[in-house]
């Protein structure tokens, strides 16, 4: 697939070099704390404008990193989605929602940086929108939400939205926490990414199926 010609191979190789260097630096020091120059140097490019040449602005670089991973995550999600079929068990749909990211991180092998990168981008006031654009285009994600809604028909729309946000936050930030703990050799609550996803699934199922105490609205 990649690099039909020698030239294209080289180019995509340096692009990949820049992407991984940027991902690492961003995760460890913060997206805004790292300059494009530093990324170029860390990628072994003597040219200090290599990032600008290949990707444009820093926002474009962030988008490229996000997209690279989203492709793989989307594959996993589609596979899980196919496995659950038309289940009416909340747990099955929650697994579709929860497992792709941890499974992707497990597949990358240690160490990883994407979860921390992701958590940062998702909370930054200006970068946030990039991530939303990248992830909300997923067709399988839409189907999962629909499947979940079918399992929980009596849940008010507002609460549904609220709990969707909650689930998203938990998935992203718990993965980032675990990734950071692994990077720093700090103890983690779970032995593996798979177990971590199980714990996350327990929580998210409970969260979705929790009774709604009425408010004065």
Partner DNA sequence: TGGTAAGTCAAGCACCTGACTTAATCTCCC
Partner DNA sequence: GGGAGATTAAGTCAGGTGCTTGACTTACCA
**Which of 29, 6, 19 is CA-nearest to residue 50?**
19
Of 74 and 134, CB closest to its own copies: 134
Q: By rule CB under 8 A, what count of residues binds its own copies?
A: 49
Alpha carbon 206 to its chain centroid, in Å, reads: 22
Residues interacting with DNA, by CB under 7 A? Answer: 5-8, 10-11, 14, 35-38, 45-50, 52-54, 57-58
Q: How far apart, in whole angstroms, are the C-alpha atoms of residue 106 and residue 96?
A: 16
Q: How far is the CB of 14 from DNA (least distance, A)?
A: 3
Can residue 123 be called a binding residue for its own copies (CB under 8 A)? yes
Site for its own copies in 177-196 (CB under 8 A): 177, 180, 189-191, 194-195
Can residue 132 be called a binding residue for its own copies (CB under 8 A)? no
207: which DSSP letter? Answer: H
Site for its own copies in 13-72 (CB under 8 A): 27-30, 32-33
- As a whole number of angstroms, the longest Cα–Cα distance in the chain is 67
Cβ–Cβ under 8 Å, residues 85 and 146: no
Task: Report the interhelical angle of 114-123 vs 6-29 (nearest 10°).
Answer: 70
Out of its own copies, DNA, none, which partner does residue 126 contact, by CB within 5 to 8 A per kind? its own copies
Q: How far is the CB of 166 from its own copies (least distance, A)?
A: 6
Cβ–Cβ under 8 Å, residues 148 and 97: yes
Instruction: State the DSSP string of 141-162.
Output: HHHHHHHHHHH-TTS-HHHHHH
Q: Which residues bind its own copies (CB under 8 A)?
A: 27-30, 32-33, 116, 119-120, 122-126, 158-159, 161-163, 165-166, 169-170, 173-174, 176-177, 180, 189-191, 194-195, 198-199, 201-203, 205-207, 209-213, 215-217
């Amino acid at each position: 697939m990649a690099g039909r010609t020698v030239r294209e191979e080289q180019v995509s190789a340096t692009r990949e070099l820049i992407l991984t260097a940027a991902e690492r630096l961003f995760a460890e020091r913060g997206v805004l704390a790292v300059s494009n120059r530093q990324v170029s140097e860390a990628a072994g490019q003597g040219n200090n404008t290599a990032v600008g040449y290949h990707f444009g602005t820093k926002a474009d670089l962030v988008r490229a990193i996000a997209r690279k991973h989203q492709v793989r995550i989307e594959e996993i999600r589609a596979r899980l989605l196919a496995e659950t079929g038309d289940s009416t068990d909340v747990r099955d749909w929650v697994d579709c929602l929860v497992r792709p990211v941890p499974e992707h991180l497990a597949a990358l092998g240690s160490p990883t940086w994407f979860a921390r990168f992701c958590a940062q981008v998702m909370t930054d006031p200006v970068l946030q929108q990039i991530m939303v654009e990248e992830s909300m285009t997923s067709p399988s994600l839409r189907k999962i939400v629909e499947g979940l809604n079918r399992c929980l028909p009596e849940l008010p729309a507002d609460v549904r939205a609220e709990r969707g946000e909650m689930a998203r936050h938990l998935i992203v930030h718990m993965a980032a926490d675990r990734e950071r703990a692994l990077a720093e050799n700090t103890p983690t609550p779970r032995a593996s990414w798979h177990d971590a996803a199980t714990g996350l699934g327990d929580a998210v199922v409970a969260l979705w199926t929790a009774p709604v105490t009425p408010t004065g609205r």
